[in-house]
Every structure is written in C-alpha cells, then in structure tokens.
Amino acid sequence: MKIGSHFTSHIVELDDGSRWRIFPGDLDLTLNRKPEMKISVASAEDDLCSHVLVGGGVKVRLSPERESWPAAQVKSALKEE
C-alpha cells in the first residue's frame, strides 16, 4: 500500500481509498515519507489510537478520518514526548 494523497497535514489518503487522521505528534513522520514507500495499516492496542501506519521503520499513530482525537489525551501524550 502507498500514500495516495496528503492534501492537509493531518489527513492522509492511502491508495486503497481509506482516509486517516494522523496523531499531531507524528505529523513530521508522515510529511517525510516518499510516495513510493511501501506502508501498511495495522491495528493498535493503545488508549489513544486505533491503528498505526507502518513502513520505513516508523510507526505513525492513526485514527479513522471521521474520528477526532480526544483533546485531553493528546495534550498529555504530547507533554510526555
């Protein structure tokens, strides 16, 4: 699978047509990906995200595009990083 488009910094569309919201703390990881890089989406057992985008030795936290990140949990996670 590959990234089909990346119109806004926090939403990525994969070549299978699925659209995902990227965790704010991981935006820099997705912006550095090359279009030809092979990636996959895997389920995540995490309180903050439901899925991860895996490829190039990097995992990016994701949630379906229609879901928003819980603000308090995001702030807490970003402080920890």
Query: Is 4:58 a contact under the CB 8 Å cutoff?
Result: no
Instruction: Give the mean pLDDT of 36-59.
Output: 87
Q: Is the dihedral of CA 14, 33, 9, 47 positive or negative?
A: positive
Eight-class DSSP state of 72: H
pTM for this prediction: 0.76
pLDDT score for 62: 92
* Residue 22 scores a pLDDT above 80: yes
Q: Label residue 44 by pLDDT band (50, 70, 90).
A: very high
Strand residues in the chain grouped as ranges (E): 3-8, 11-14, 19-22, 40-43, 51-55, 58-64
What gap in Å lies between CA 29 and CA 58, rounded to an integer? Answer: 8
